[in-house]
C-alpha cells in the first residue's frame, strides 16, 4: 500500500500549479470579490435575474480555475507518476 504523503504530492516536490500560483491567487481574489458582491445584492434585495447572472459568472470563474488546476495536475503529478509506474501511477490515474 502507498503512503498517504505519496498520494498527495508530486514526485518532483512541487504541485503542478506552482508556476501559475500568483495568477491563481489573483483569480481567486477576484472570485472572492464577486461572491461578496452577490451577498450584497441579496442583502439589498436586487432583482433575482441580476443575482442569478452574477452567480452564473461566479460559477464560470470557479470552473475555469478548477479546469486549470486539473490540467496542471495531469501535466505534472499524473505524468510524473505515470513515468514512475506501479501502484502510485494507478492511484494518480484513479484520483484524476
Residue 37 lies in a domain: yes
C-alpha cell at 1: 500500500
Domain count of the fold of the chain: 1
Residue 44 lies in a domain: yes
Average of per-residue pLDDT across 73-81: 86
pLDDT of residue 54: 98
Helices (H), the chain: 4-8, 21-43, 48-73, 79-84, 86-95
Residue 82 lies in a domain: yes
Cβ–Cβ under 8 Å, residues 51 and 81: no
Residue 2: pLDDT band by 50, 70, 90 thresholds? very low
Q: Which domain holds residue 20?
A: 15-95
pLDDT digits (tens, 9 = 90+) for 9-68: 555 556 667 778 899 999 999 999 999 999 999 999 999 999 999 999 999 999 999 999
Residue 7 lies in a domain: no
pLDDT of residue 96: 78
d(CA 58, CA 48): 15
Residue 6 lies in a domain: no
Residue 3 lies in a domain: no
CATH number of the domain bearing residue 70: 1.20.58.1000
Q: What DSSP state is assigned to residue 44?
A: T
Residue 42 lies in a domain: yes
Residue 9 lies in a domain: no
Amino acid at each position: 500500500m502507498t503512503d498517504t504523503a505519496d498520494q498527495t504530492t508530486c514526485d518532483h516536490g512541487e504541485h503542478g500549479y506552482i508556476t501559475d500560483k500568483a495568477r491563481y491567487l489573483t483569480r481567486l481574489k477576484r472570485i472572492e470579490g464577486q461572491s461578496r458582491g452577490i451577498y450584497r445584492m441579496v442583502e439589498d434585495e436586487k432583482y433575482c435575474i441580476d443575482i442569478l447572472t452574477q452567480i452564473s459568472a461566479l460559477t464560470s470563474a470557479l470552473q475555469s480555475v478548477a479546469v486549470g488546476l486539473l490540467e496542471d495536475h495531469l501535466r505534472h503529478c499524473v505524468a510524473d507518476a505515470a513515468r514512475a509506474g506501479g501502484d502510485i501511477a494507478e492511484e494518480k490515474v484513479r484520483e484524476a
